[in-house]
Amino acid sequence: MRAAFIRTLVELAERDPRVLLLTGDLGYTTVEPFSERFPGRFFNVGVAEQNMVGLSTGLADAGFIPFVYSIAPFAALRPYEFIRNGPIVHRLPVRIVGVGGGFEYGANGVSHYGLEDVGVMRVQPDLTLIAPADHEQARSALLATWNVPGPVYYRLGKDDRTTVPGLGGRFDPGRLQVVREGEDALMLCLGAIAAEAVVAAGALASRGVSCAVAVAASLNPAPVDDLADLISRYRLAVAVEAHYTNGGLGSLVCEVVAERELRCRVVRCGVDRTPIGIPGSTAHLHRRHGLDAEALVDRIGRELGRPRR
Amino acid sequence: MLVPALAGPIRPSVESAMTPQTPITGRAIRRIVLERSYRAGVGHIGSSLSVADLLAAVYDSQLKHPDVRDPDRNRFILSKGHAALALYAALYLKGWMSEEQLASFCTDGSPVGVHPEHTVPGIDFSTGSLGHGLSIGAGSALGARLQGARRRVFVLVSDAECNEGSLWEAAMFASHHGLANLIVLLDLNGQQALGYTRQVLDLSDMPGRWRAFGWDASEVDGHDVDRIVSAIEACDGLSGPPHVIVARTTFGKGVSFMERQIKWHYWPMSEAEYRQAISELEDRS
């Protein structure tokens, strides 16, 4: 996603001289298409994320559209207060790009995981929050949102090859994208883990369980109406996210179910403990936290077998 | 804490401190600070008195744009946002804030609060969280350079604010990129919320610290407006390093019982203290 995002950003920068790119000394082999094409509009600010966001606040006030780039926790968490008191409070078009949402920096350990970025960003009412599920959607999401008036947080994955079957690069702010139809249960997915959910839905189908899959890439504006409409057709809705179970998509789903008084059981498949002491590959971590296709199949099978309360 | 209401109305100002005037003086700012903080029952008085002459200098000599929304205006960032009342006073004396708006300080529904918000015309950026303003200022200065504009960016920081690592992130960036159009006014009053800076975190040789970060640093009496203006005018805004003017100030300047007293970082005045403070200010005229 990150390479597709930067390629698309280069296209936008060709059209609009206001587009700048700042990095906190990250993005080796990723940011070069921009830095080489626009050396005067690219700034490696050093390992200083708070300053990077503060700089962007001043630049946006001067009329620019600065994109700031780092790994998700360094982009979202270290400068969080600067994001809040800067572009959010001043409603300026700063774009925060957090790469590697979830466990994508697997072996690098917990310092590099993005497990609460959506949660902390989602609470900000005046921040657009986008978490694409694959590189095609990352491109369309950027094209749809790069020029919105206020700030945006983009949560990107690193994978630039895998696509989510059925998604076709679709994106609409405030909407869900259904990628697979089904009748017995509904999986609602945040980010690149959607591909795993589609695999799980295929495996469930071979067992005679029909499971729909939808992608929620626009978290703010939240796809509240689409969620309510879709969830109301199912007795089981399963949120799937490489994110803490509190604060992310699963919480959003619970909010919609409660506020719209829907009769649907919600299961949140996410990370429910601080992942220390078990670094490894992304696949390993998904497995350990019940997020790989096999674990999702087991979980949904179990949940459907439970008697309704 | 609320102070008791005055038995009678506050006497009209002896001088026309409530009327826009030129030149803007630190004394006029101080009078407004005392009046408005007393009426609102709000503290941060000592900090506001500390920066009064710095604000008088910069607003009188550098911020002359006719329209507070002019995109090419010089920018001013009060990074030590808790001294906002002094900034409101400067804006009022400049004619950019109405008397009605100034009088609404810290009243329900007013945007004129303890810390400045950009929704108030004349306030370029909302501040209040220390260590934030310089990075915004550096971005603003970089933006001006990218646009080929000659505008300058002034950032007023406190000495205690230099405790914040983010300030030094911005300082490194500004010198590395030669942001000559960026001027920091550093209010060196030696105090912070809970103690003296030398006791909390020693900040000695402040100019040397900034020079080590690649800045042009000068020192000035922070209550001598002419010297502050001269120091600003001596800054090359087109080339070379960014500038810091280390202004030696007295916390609570102008009110004897507030000067260098930690209490007056937060404390509001009683009626007796207010009347004494006003009296001292008038006696010094």
> What's at B204, amino acid-wise?
S
Name the residue facing B169 among A48, A66, A81 (closest C-beta): A48
Q: Spell out the alpha helix ranges (H) of chain A.
A: 2-15, 32-37, 49-61, 72-76, 80-83, 89-90, 117-122, 135-145, 194-206, 224-231, 249-259, 282-288, 293-305
| B16 within some domain | no
Distance CA A120, CA B230 (A): 47
Residue of chain A minimizing CA distance to B135: A54
Interface of B with A in 58-97 (CB under 8 A): 71
How many A/B residue pairs have CB atoms within 8 Å? 93
3-state secondary structure B65-76: CCCCCCCCCCEE
The DSSP bridge pattern shows strands A177-180 and A211-215 to be antiparallel
| B7 within some domain | no
Low-confidence ranges of chain B (pLDDT < 50): 1-18
A150 and A243 housed in the same domain: no
Residues of A with Cβ-Cβ distance to B147 under 8 angstroms: 62-63
Six token digits for residue A250: 């699963």
| B20 within some domain | no
DSSP labels, A93-162:
--EEEEESBBTTTGGG-GGG-BSSHHHHHHT-TT-EEE--SSHHHHHHHHHHHTT-SS-EEEEE-S-SS-
| A163 within some domain | no
Low-confidence ranges of chain A (pLDDT < 70): 307-309
Domain that holds residue A29: 2-156
Domain that holds residue B54: 26-283
Please indicate whether, in this complex, the C-beta atoms of B126 and A62 are within 8 angstroms of each other: no
pLDDT at A219: 98
Residues of B with Cβ-Cβ distance to A59 under 8 angstroms: 139-140, 142-143, 146
| B221 within some domain | yes
| A166 within some domain | no
User: Which of A51, A56, A64 should we substitute to test contact with B (largest number of B Cβ atoms within 10 Å)?
Assistant: A51
Answer whether the bond into residue B23 is a cis peptide, omega within 30°.
yes
Query: What value, to the nearest 5°, has the Cα angle with vertex A305 and ends A300 and A307?
Result: 125
A98, β-bridge pairs: A70, A155
List own/partner pairs for A203-208 with CB under 8 A and 24 or more apart: A203/A293, A203/A294, A203/A297, A204/A297, A204/A300, A204/A301, A207/A297, A207/A301
CATH number at residue A124: 3.40.50.970
Residue of chain B minimizing CA distance to A78: B166
Give residue for tokens 């008036």: A149
Interface of A with B in 84-103 (CB under 8 A): 85-86, 89-90
| A168 within some domain | no
A133 and A245 housed in the same domain: no
DSSP state of B258: T
A6 and A152 housed in the same domain: yes
3-state secondary structure B33-48: HHHHHHHHCCCCHHHH
Please indicate whether, in this complex, the C-beta atoms of B143 and A81 are within 8 angstroms of each other: no
Please indicate whether, in this complex, the C-beta atoms of A61 and B169 are within 8 angstroms of each other: no
CATH number at residue B42: 3.40.50.970
Q: Which helix (H) or strand (E) holds B171?
A: helix B165-176
Distance CA A108, CA B186 (A): 41
| B159 within some domain | yes
Name the residue facing B140 among A40, A46, A61 (closest C-beta): A61
Separation in Å, CA of B231 to nearest CA in chain A: 25
Residues composing chain A: 309
Question: What domain count does chain B have?
Answer: 1
Mapped onto helix, strand or coil, the DSSP state of residue A208 is coil
| B197 within some domain | yes
Separation in Å, CA of B95 to nearest CA in chain A: 24
Radius of gyration of chain B (CA): 18
| A167 within some domain | no
DSSP state of A87: I
A134 and A217 housed in the same domain: no
pLDDT at A306: 73
pLDDT at B20: 62
ipTM of the complex: 0.95
Name the residue facing B135 among A40, A54, A64 (closest C-beta): A54
| B5 within some domain | no
Please indicate whether, in this complex, the C-beta atoms of A61 and B143 are within 8 angstroms of each other: yes
A8 and A152 housed in the same domain: yes
pLDDT at A279: 85
Q: Which helix (H) or strand (E) holds B184?
A: strand B182-188
Separation in Å, CA of A265 to nearest CA in chain B: 43
Domain end point (choices A123, A156, A189):
A156
CATH number at residue A214: 3.40.50.920
The DSSP bridge pattern shows strands A95-99 and A128-130 to be unpaired
Specify whether the CB–CB gap between A22 and A57 falls below 8 A.
no
Please indicate whether, in this complex, the C-beta atoms of A59 and B124 are within 8 angstroms of each other: no
Six token digits for residue B259: 């000067």
Specify whether the CB–CB gap between A69 and B187 falls below 8 A.
no
Query: What value, to the nearest 5°, has the Cα angle with vertex B130 and ends B81 and B230?
Result: 65
Distance CA A152, CA B38 (A): 42
A70, β-bridge pairs: A98
Please indicate whether, in this complex, the C-beta atoms of A90 and B134 are within 8 angstroms of each other: no
Domain end point (choices A107, A124, A156):
A156
User: Which of B77, B118, B129, B132 should we substitute to test contact with A (largest number of A Cβ atoms within 10 Å)?
Assistant: B132
Please indicate whether, in this complex, the C-beta atoms of A46 and B172 are within 8 angstroms of each other: yes
Question: What domain count does chain A have?
Answer: 2
**Residue A53 touches chain B, beta carbons under 8 Å:** yes
Name the residue facing A54 among B118, B126, B139 (closest C-beta): B139
Specify whether the CB–CB gap between A64 and A55 falls below 8 A.
no
A130 and A7 housed in the same domain: yes
B253, β-bridge pairs: none
Q: How far is CA A248 from CA A71, A101, A239, A261, B150, in A?
A: 18, 12, 9, 20, 45
Distance CA A40, CA A17 (A): 11
Distance CA A175, CA A178 (A): 10
| A36 within some domain | yes
